[in-house]
Structure 1
C-alpha cells in the first residue's frame, strides 16, 4: 500500500498533516471519548447509529462465515435495542470446527472491519475506496439480508452518508470519518465485554447461548477460556493495525 510521505498538500503526502504519534494519540482520544459517551446520560442516543453499525458488523461476520462453510445466509435482523441475529441454515449438521468458527466470526467481525478501516486511512485512494465499499455493502446487504425496521432505517442512512463522504466530502473529512468508524468497530467489544465472558446472553429480551458458549459447546473448553482467546486476538489485531498503519 502506498503511504503518505511528503508534506501536507502533496499528492502522496499525509493530508492530515499529523505525525504517526499524533495519529495514534487521536485514535486513542476518539476511543476514550466514545467510551465516556456510552456512559453519559445521552451518549447512547448520539452513538446509536454506530451501535447499530457494530451489530451489523457482528451479524455479517456470522452470516458470511456461515456462507464460507456452505450454509445459506437467509436473513439478518437488528432490534431497536442493538441486539440482533443472523439466520443461516445448512443441509447437513455443521462440524464442530465450522460451528466454532461461525460463532467466533461474529465476535471478531467488528474489530476486523475497524482495523481494515484504520489501515485504509493512510492513503487518499484507500480512504475513498473504503468509504465507497462500506456504503455499497451496507445498501446491498440491507436489500439482500436485512429483515427488520431498525436495520432498514439506520443502515441505508449510514451507507448513504459513507457514499456522500466518499465522493463529495473533503479529504480531511473522509480520513476522519474512516478513522472514527474504525475506532467504533475496534472498541465495540467493550460494550459486549460481559457477553464475551458469559455462557448466556439476551436476544430481544429472550435468553440465548452466547457466542463463546457456542464455541465452548463445539470445542469443549469453557466459555471464559474462549472469551480470553477472543480478547487476545482482538488486542493483537488492533495493535498490529495501529503499528502497520502508522509505521514509516
Structure 2
C-alpha cells in the first residue's frame, strides 16, 4: 500500500500543477487580444456560467428569470422581473461572481474519481441543453452552448478516462476563473454591455449594501482563491 501511494501522489501533484497552469494561462490570455480571440468559445461559456448564476439566484429569491442573452464579443446579461429588496439585489450580483467559481471548484473536485468525472460531464451537458431551451434568447448562445453540451456528453460517453479527467479539470478551471476574463471588472464601477452602460456587479453590491466596490472586489477575489485552493486540496485526496 505505501508503494501504491508513492506512485499516486506524484501523479496528483502533477495534475494539480496542470490545473493551476490552466488557470494562470487562461487569465493571462484573456488580457490580450490574441488570447481573447483564441479563447472566445470558452469566453462565451464563461458568460453562460456568470449569467446563469445571476438568473437562477434571482429566481430562487422570487424573481422571474426571463431570458439570458450572450453577445458575440463575450458580454451578456440575464434579465429578470420582479422587485428584489436591496440585500437580494446584492446576493444576485454576488452570485454572478461567486457562482461560477463554486461550480468550477466542484468540477475540479469531481476529477478525483472516474464516476464523479463522468457525472460532472453529463450534468454539464444536460444543464447546457436545458438552459438553452428555457432561457437563452440569442443566436450566439443557440449555436455555441449546444456544441459545448454535445462535446461534454460525447466525452462522458466515449472518451477515455484520461480525457474525461482533463476535460473536467479544464472546464472546471474555466468556471472557477471566469470572472477574470476582464481582470478590471471586479475593481470597476461599470462597463458596456450590448452597447449600453451598465454597473459592474461589485458596484451593484456597493449600491445595495455599504463599503465601496473595490472592497467587494477584493473580498470576492479572496473567496475565489480560497475556493480553488480548497478544491485542489480535496481533489488530491484518495
Question: TM-score band, normalised by the shorter chain?
Answer: over 0.9
Distance 1:37 1:190 in 2: 10
Q: CA shift at 1:153, angstroms?
A: 0.7
Which of these residues, 62, 67, 73, is aligned with residue 81 of structure 1? 73
TM alignment of 1:3-18, pairs within 5 A: none
Q: Paired residue for 1:151?
A: 141
Q: 1:220 to 1:115 in 2, by over 3 A?
A: same
Q: CA shift at 1:39, angstroms?
A: 5.0
Structure 2 residues without counterparts, runs of 5 or longer: none
Q: Paired residue for 1:56?
A: 48
Task: State the SS of the aligned residue for 1:80.
Answer: coil
TM alignment of 1:87-102, pairs within 5 A: 87-90=79-82, 93-102=83-92
1:247 paired with 2:217, answer: no
Q: Paired residue for 2:182?
A: 192
Normalising by structure 1, we get a TM-score of: 0.89
User: Is the CA contact 1:81–1:204 (under 8 Å) kept in the aligned structure 2?
Assistant: no
Q: CA shift at 1:6, angstroms?
A: 9.8
Structure 1 residues without counterparts, runs of 5 or longer: none
Task: State the SS of the aligned residue for 1:220.
Answer: coil
Greater alpha carbon shift after TM alignment, 93-102 vs 147-156:
93-102
- Provide the aligned C-alpha RMSD in A: 2.1
User: Is the CA contact 1:72–1:88 (under 8 Å) kept in the aligned structure 2?
Assistant: yes
Q: CA shift at 1:36, angstroms?
A: 4.5
Distance 2:12 2:18 in 1: 10
| Moved segments of 4+, more than 6 Å | none
Q: Paired residue for 2:120?
A: 130
The answer to which structure has the higher helix fraction is 2
User: Is the CA contact 1:71–1:89 (under 8 Å) kept in the aligned structure 2?
Assistant: yes
Distance 1:165 1:6 in 2: 32
Distance 1:198 1:37 in 2: 20
TM alignment of 1:151-190, pairs within 5 A: 151-190=141-180
Q: Paired residue for 1:201?
A: 191
Which of these residues, 58, 62, 69, is aligned with residue 61 of structure 2? 69
